[in-house]
Structures are given as C-alpha cells and as structure tokens.
Structure 1
Amino acid sequence: MSFSPVTHVIFDFDGLLVDTESAYTQANSELLKKYGKVFTMDLKRRQMGKRHDESIRWLINELNIGDLVTPEEYSLQYDAILIEMFKQSPAMPGAEKLVRHLIHHHIPIALCTGSCSRTFPTKLDNHRDWVDMIKLQVLSGDDPEVKHGKPHPDPFLVTMRRFPDVPDNAGKVLVFEDSYNGVLSALDAGMQCVMVPERSIYDPDQDPEFKKRVTLILDSLEHFKPEDFGLPAYD
C-alpha cells in the first residue's frame, strides 16, 4: 500500500503520543457527578480535539449547567484533577519509536495539540526526553494565532506555516490524529491524515462517509510503515 509522498509530519498529542484521554474522561466524569450529569462516550467523542477552554464551554452549554457552574470555575476544578492524573500517563505504543525515527532521519516534525500552556508541561513529566525533541510545538488551546480550534483547519495551517522550511503545499504534510475533530481539522487543511482511534470512543467503521475521507486508519502507531508515505523505512 502506498500514498502520496510527504515531506513534513505533524503529531497530535493527547491520546496519540501519550495516553491522557483516560484522564480527561475520569476528570469530566467526577466533576459532572457534582452537577447531576453523566459524561458519556458520545460527549467525549464530540469534545475530543477541541481547544481546552472551548471544550469546557461547549460541555457546559451542551449539558445546560451554566446556572450551576461557570466555565472558569469548572476549568479550575478540572485542571486540578488533570494535573495529578497526567503524572501517571504512559506513552502510546509505537509513539516514541516513530518520533525518534523521523528525527534521526531529519524529517521536519511538529506537535499540534488543543492543550493550553498552563497544563501541557505537566503531561511531559515522564516523556520530556523524547517529546522535547519535537522543537516545533503549537499549543492551540491558547495560541493567539489560532483563531478557531479543531475541527476547524486553523491549528494545522498555523503549524504548517511555522516550519522553518515551509512545505510546498498542504498535501505534503502527514498528520497523525486520534480524534474525529482532529481528523476533520487535518483533512479540511488539505493534509493527509493517519487516524489511530480509540474505538471505544469512536469507531470509524460505523461512519462510512467519514472513513472514506481518512487517508489511513490504524489500530496502533506500531503498525505504521513510514515508507508507505515516502518516508525512510525503519531499520
């Protein structure tokens, strides 16, 4: 199997490189119980990939609990829970190997996450030795140049423009994503996208029209073959 060759790679972070998604699920579940609500996987699917503050506003509006808690109050409680959980978040299978491989072969890579600058550093506590090798990191959660978060294309387009050697066109960029909103963001930016979904949250097989648009769907980064996209193969 082969696809159009790429020259640049952009990684999402949460649930793609590091398993932080379970922390988000637990934190939302704990908080929403206080307000008599249940955090469902449907809510999770629709929330994933959005900017941090945007996702909280969306959730409060979706559940009509704005009279019980403000986005600012929710965010303070939410972040406090997350910070402790993030310290235990493991790397996703194959993530570190792929990042190190691309860097070793001098492939321009970047990170584009919906995280914000106040919580993102905590997620790196156990992973700085390899995540910090990705020099271009766009935290679209509070990056002033990103006007609209995922599923809008803005986060990936901003990231592409910040590469020191800007790609010839968006089609030369390969994005790795785990979320529905993130994939839509990448595809609408004109980029190719490999999706590694958490199928308990979102199963592309149940959405044929969406599945047709995604460049490639894998069960794990361990199954990715760089040479399929014109990148150096693993040794």
Structure 2
Amino acid sequence: MIAAVIFDMDGLMFDTEALNMKGWMEAGRRHGYEMTEEVVYGHIGANLATTRRLMTEHFGPGFDFDAVRADRVAWAFAQIERNGMPEKPGLRELLAWLRGKALRTAIATSSERRFVDFYLAHADLGHSFDAIVTGDRVARSKPAPDIFLQAASELCATPADCVVLEDSYNGIKAAHAAGMRPVMIPDLLPPIPEVEPLLYGRVDSLSGVIPILEALDRA
C-alpha cells in the first residue's frame, strides 16, 4: 500500500545541486577561498546550520559564511532568472501520474522556504504539493528522520505507507530511519555500499519511479 510520496528538492526535482556547486565555487573565489567539490559534497542534504558548521570547521573561525553564502544565492538566482528553472527529467510526468492516482505529495527539503517558493514559482509548480516542510522547521536535519516524519504527519499518512524520493546519502538515511521506503535517483553522488541496503529502489530518473509506485499501488 502507498498513501503518499515525499520529494526532496535540490538535485531531485530540480538540477540545482550542480548549480549550487558552481555558485559556491564562484562565491568562494571572490572571497579568497578555494571551495572544492569535496567541501561542497560534504553538506549535500544538510540544513543551513549544519552547512554553516561544516564550512566554518573547514575554513576556520574567520570564514564569513553569511557573506559567501549571500553571493552564492545571488549568483544562483540570477542564473535561474536568466535561463529558467532546470527541472529534472520525468518530474512533470511523475506529478501528473500522482495526481491521477489522488496520492498525497509533499516536499521535505533542508533548504529554506524562500528557496522552495522561488523554485516552484519559476517552474510554475506552486500548487502541486499538499505539504512543504523545510529544514528550519525541524530540530534535527537529515540524516535524522524529523523532516520526513513531519511531512508524513502533515499528510496524515503512516510512515510505512510513504515513499521518499531522494538523491543524497543523508536523505536516504533519514527516510530509512523514519520507517519509510527510500527510492534513490542519483544526482551528483553515486550510490555507495553504505546506503545500498537502505534502499527500497533505485532508478535513473523520476519517470522510472512510476513502475515502483504502480507495484505498490497493486499490493
């Protein structure tokens, strides 16, 4: 049985992890910091507080996180304003299928609400989800299960009847800890042995999720 599908956002619905990666590098360079891929990979799926802590630990107490991040955000928003919202393949097909089945949907993202609203507005998907839970609304960030449990609560769904769509290791761990079914659609991070046993499924695109949901719908 399946009652609800919970979406991560960055790197899952929208091709923004790569955009943010380049934005961090550009902003770091302007402020005199070498923002490598390894540094950015380390906080994929983390909320703002965790990202701040990890970067400050890496660069030292003099690191002006707020200034660098503000430049990164401004750069990324300008790219989206100029080029449009980069959607992941299969997103609209999957959302249409879910609407046809009257399944409840939520976004559970470590990002702030202003990013969710900006992205959804530029993708013209502002009314496509029944609930939105952001990282600043829960006590613990992924890999803790808090954000997914909150989403299930707002959807009035039992965790065991929820499928979570994720691209990050922290997100997969959080979904598993919440007692849900994690399906990984890899983005920047490939599957690794540590998360493989936690997966209910793994597909290459969001449209590939539909057969998994169809099988659950028949169960």
User: Normalising by structure 2, what TM-score?
Assistant: 0.88
Alignment of 1:19-168 (within 5 A): 19-33=15-29, 34-40=31-37, 42-64=38-60, 66-69=61-64, 71-87=65-81, 88-128=84-124, 130-140=125-135, 142-143=136-137, 146-163=138-155, 166-168=156-158
- In percent, how many aligned pairs have the same letter? 25
Gaps of 5+ in 1: none
Instruction: Measure, in 2, the Cα distance between the counterparts of 1:24 and 1:35.
Output: 18
Instruction: Measure, in 2, the Cα distance between the counterparts of 1:56 and 1:81.
Output: 19
Aligned to 2:179: 190
Count of residues in Structure 1 that have an aligned counterpart in Structure 2: 214
Residues 171/26 of structure 1: CA separation in 2 closer, same or farther (3 Å cut): same
Residues 45/215 of structure 1: CA separation in 2 closer, same or farther (3 Å cut): farther
Output the amino acid matched with 2:77: I
Instruction: Measure, in 2, the Cα distance between the counterparts of 1:27 and 1:53.
Output: 19
Instruction: Measure, in 2, the Cα distance between the counterparts of 1:131 and 1:92.
Output: 16
Deviation of 1:167 (Å): 2.2
Specify the SS of the correspondent of 1:43. Answer: helix
Q: Which has the higher helix share?
A: 2
Deviation of 1:96 (Å): 1.1
Output the amino acid matched with 2:93: K
Contact kept? 1:79, 1:119, Cα under 8 Å = no
Q: CA RMSD in A?
A: 2.0
Contact kept? 2:167, 2:189, Cα under 8 Å = no
Identify the range of structure 1 (6-15 vs 223-232) with the bigger mean alpha-carbon deviation: 223-232
Residues 20/181 of structure 1: CA separation in 2 closer, same or farther (3 Å cut): same
Deviation of 1:131 (Å): 4.5
Q: Does 1:219 align with 2:204?
A: yes
Residues 28/171 of structure 1: CA separation in 2 closer, same or farther (3 Å cut): same
C-alpha offsets along residues 46-95 of structure 1, whole Å, 9 cap, x if unaligned?
A: 2111113432332232233x3141x3323322222222123333211111
Output the amino acid matched with 1:116: E
Instruction: Measure, in 2, the Cα distance between the counterparts of 1:221 and 1:21.
Output: 16
Gaps of 5+ in 2: none
Output the amino acid matched with 1:38: M
Specify the SS of the correspondent of 2:113. Answer: coil
